[in-house]
Amino acid sequence: MIPNLPTLKILPIDRMILHEDHDLQRTLPLVEKLRAQGILRNPPIVMTLPDNSGRYMVLDGANRVTSLREMEFPHIVAQVVEASNPNVNLQTWNHVVWGMDTKLLISSLEKVKDIKLIKIDTQKSVDAPKYTPLQIRLPDGSFYILEEAPSDLATHIDPLHQIVNSYKTQASLDRTSQTLVDHFKTVYSDLTALIIFPSFKIKTVLKLAAQNIVLPTGITRFTVSPRALHLNYPLHELSSGKPIEYKEAYLQHWVEARVKNKSVRHYAEQTFLFDE
């Protein structure tokens, strides 16, 4: 018997709420791929919103959800997790920005409303900020922090969007968990900066999502264990007009049949996949 099977459910696609800004340019290629393959390879991961609205926040798989919504699917198969699950964690992605003039980046950041760009003299002691600010680390060793005026949570998010927008269309960016800029000097010949974002709590992101307030794209990373991968669920079972109760029963029977046929594998150890 395979332990701890992920919770898979058929859910109304109109109950899915994104927590990050989504680039619609990524949707069309996936729509074409889904139509060609006829399967949903990996189910999105969603978390129940605690406001009793029956909605779910998408932790991972925003492009899949958006694509199926674009295809006018009534339902989606998703892995459901709860905020209380100790195996669900939220980490922060930082941005490695490259291919943009550093002076142009700093100039753009200085124009962002409601924030103050402060250059830190690393040779002098400074007062600790009241909260963890967004940091800018440049290849020459310069170090900046972005200080905001006191505001409510929702107002705090808008400057983050302005900051990301100041470089995402004028530069290339990669996501990283690293916080030291020196690591990237030999990797990127035209390195611009390392943008280090403050961390968020899961309950904070849930609260924002419930208000339809999204974070900038590419700054949150949810990790979930166990994770359902390579499900390869037939799309025709999701697109049909059959009741959701029928689809849910079919899904559970479908999963049970694969467990019985030993088509489901559980890897307890860390695993690297080379066919993604």
- The whole-number mean pLDDT for each consecutive block of 10 residues of the chain, a chain of 276 residues, reads 82 97 85 96 97 96 96 98 95 96 94 84 51 83 81 80 92 93 94 94 94 92 93 97 97 94 85 72
Question: Are the beta carbons of 51 and 85 closer than 8 angstroms?
Answer: no
Alpha carbon distance 19, 15 (integer Å): 13
38-54 residues labelled b (16+ CB within 10 A) or e (exposed): eebebbbbbbbbeeeee
Enclosing H/E stretch for 61? none
Question: Are the beta carbons of 153 and 122 closer than 8 angstroms?
Answer: no
Helix (H, G, I), strand (E, B) or coil at 18: strand
Helix (H, G, I), strand (E, B) or coil at 165: helix
Alpha carbon distance 127, 187 (integer Å): 34
Question: Are the beta carbons of 8 and 231 closer than 8 angstroms?
Answer: yes
Question: Are the beta carbons of 78 and 233 closer than 8 angstroms?
Answer: no
Integer angstrom CA distances of residue 195 from 79, 163, 179: 31, 10, 9
Alpha carbon distance 45, 9 (integer Å): 10
Question: Residue 113: how many CB atoms within 10 A of its CB?
Answer: 7
Residues making up the chain, counted from first to last: 276
Alpha carbon distance 192, 197 (integer Å): 16
Residue 56, φ and ψ in degrees, nearest 5: -130, 135
Question: Are the beta carbons of 194 and 181 closer than 8 angstroms?
Answer: yes
Q: Are strands 94-98 and 172-176 parallel, antiparallel or unpaired?
A: antiparallel
Phi/psi-derived region of residue 64, left when phi > 0, alpha when psi is between -120 and 50, beta in every other case:
alpha
Alpha carbon distance 77, 234 (integer Å): 10
pLDDT number for residue 241: 95
Residue 95, φ and ψ in degrees, nearest 5: -115, 125
pLDDT number for residue 25: 75
Question: Are the beta carbons of 134 and 199 closer than 8 angstroms?
Answer: no
**Is residue 117 classed exposed, middle or buried when 0-12, 13-18 and 19+ CB atoms within 10 A define those classes?**
middle
